[in-house]
Amino acid sequence: MSGSSAAVEPALAAQILALLVEVAPDVDPAVVRPAEDFRQQFDFDSMDVFSFATALHARFGIDIPERDYRQLASLEKCAAYVAAKLGERHAPPAALKS
């Protein structure tokens, strides 16, 4: 992790974890292991993944195509994905880059 992303990731991960608990209220946020897939930690099915992606879209204003759902599989993967999508939103268009 770079220095700048390390400062942002805990806050971003906390926001994502809060959304996860909204989607799956049986999840205890205190025991979520950030690197382990949600499906291995608790009963997180395809409808939960869809609801989670929808909640992320609503909270962060990012589009998450279905082909990217596997990148939402764990807290770490999801935080990296959301951070990258947020960075893309703030990047200048390719035509403007020098």
| pLDDT digit string, tens, across residues 67-82 | 999 999 999 999 999 9
Instruction: Report the domain count for the chain.
Output: 1
Integer Cα distance of 38 and 78 in angstroms: 11
Position 87 in a domain: yes
Closest CA to 81 of 50, 98, 51, 60: 60
Amino acid 3: pLDDT? 41
Position 77 in a domain: yes
What separation in angstroms does the CA of 88 have from each of 15, 48, 80, 83, 85? 19, 26, 12, 9, 5
Position 97 in a domain: no
Integer Cα distance of 94 and 1 in angstroms: 25
Amino acid 9: pLDDT? 77
Amino acid 8: pLDDT? 47
| pLDDT digit string, tens, across residues 16-63 | 999 999 999 999 999 999 999 999 999 899 999 999 999 999 999 999
**pLDDT greater than 80 at residue 97:** no
Integer Cα distance of 32 and 63 in angstroms: 25
CATH code, 9: 1.10.1200.10
Position 23 in a domain: yes
Position 38 in a domain: yes
Position 79 in a domain: yes
Domain that holds residue 54: 3-92
Amino acid 90: pLDDT? 65
Position 98 in a domain: no
